[in-house]
Structure 1
Amino acid sequence: MADIFDVIADPTRREILRVLLDRSSDATHAAGDISVSEIVATLELSQPTVSKHLKVLREAGLVAVREEGQHRYYRLDSRPLESVEDWIIPFTASDDDLQLSVQLAQETRDFASSVGKVLADTRHRVTSATERVTPKKWRRD
């Protein structure tokens, strides 16, 4: 599989992704599918050119295809772009964003620690109470 950055580096593929994104956000097309011929008409490119780029996008997991007879309908799958987003965020985040991220991480750790302590204390209390009221012959020692 090609590197996601190589895939989206091509301007024609980015235009195809834009068309697919527009279709996916269009309320009149619930499924978000678009045919190859519609992409060809929208971008005013040849069908072989569009098909070649759709193949690259499909291999990268950026589009899903549905076959209906001889027609192919494509829709955007943006999940592979999350790795691009993860890579870009540190370059675009402000100092305030980074401080907020650190603060949230610390709050999450504090919360998890508190929950862990409560669960451990509850388990200890339940075990102690069970041992006091359960006859020895029924205990698993």
Structure 2
Amino acid sequence: MADIFDVIADGTRRDILQLLRERGAAGEHGTSVSNIVADLGVSQPTVSKHLKVLREAELVSVREEGQHRYYSLSVGPLDEVDDWLVPFFDDGIAAADAAATVSTLPDSAAAAADLVGRAAASTKHAFDSMFKRIPGR
């Protein structure tokens, strides 16, 4: 399987994923290639090429009805991106919390609070990631 970060690095593929996410949220059960072409203003061969990459990365699923193919977003592979990004957000929150307490705590207490906050955020992320991988959850 291709590296998920390489797959989503392309702007057209991100546009397709965004479109499929919006359509899925609106209750649609798949979007045709012709609808993607019309909405994005990209040629059919280009859309087909990018959909192939997204299929191979398992980011989209395809449903065939006669000669038509309908694509839907499959968010599972994006967990890897989420797992990579979450610590950055947790660190930002911990840093903001630590900065807010610095003015009211002595330096040693502020440093200890920062370490505890970072450890808690890291532990929370590890547990969240572990529970996501338990089958049937």
TM-score by length of 1: 0.66
Following superposition, the deviation at residue 92 of structure 1 comes to 1.7
Q: Specify the SS of the correspondent of 1:2.
A: coil
Q: Percent identity?
A: 59
Report the RMSD for the aligned CA atoms in angstroms.
1.9
- Over 4 Å off, 4+ runs: 102-105
Number of matched pairs: 102
- In structure 2, the gaps of 5 or more residues are 98-116, 126-137
Following superposition, the deviation at residue 37 of structure 1 comes to 0.4
CA 1:99–1:6: 2 relative to 1, 3 Å: same
Following superposition, the deviation at residue 98 of structure 1 comes to 3.8
- In structure 1, the gaps of 5 or more residues are 106-141
Aligned pairs (5 A) from 1:42-61: 42-61=39-58
Following superposition, the deviation at residue 76 of structure 1 comes to 0.1
Aligned pairs (5 A) from 1:52-131: 52-93=49-90, 94-95=93-94, 98=118, 100-101=120-121
Q: Specify the SS of the correspondent of 2:6.
A: helix
Structure 1 counterpart of 2:25, which letter? Answer: S
Q: Which residue of 2 aligns with 1:139?
A: none
Deviations 1:108-138 (A, max 9, x none): xxxxxxxxxxxxxxxxxxxxxxxxxxxxxxx
Q: Specify the SS of the correspondent of 1:80.
A: helix
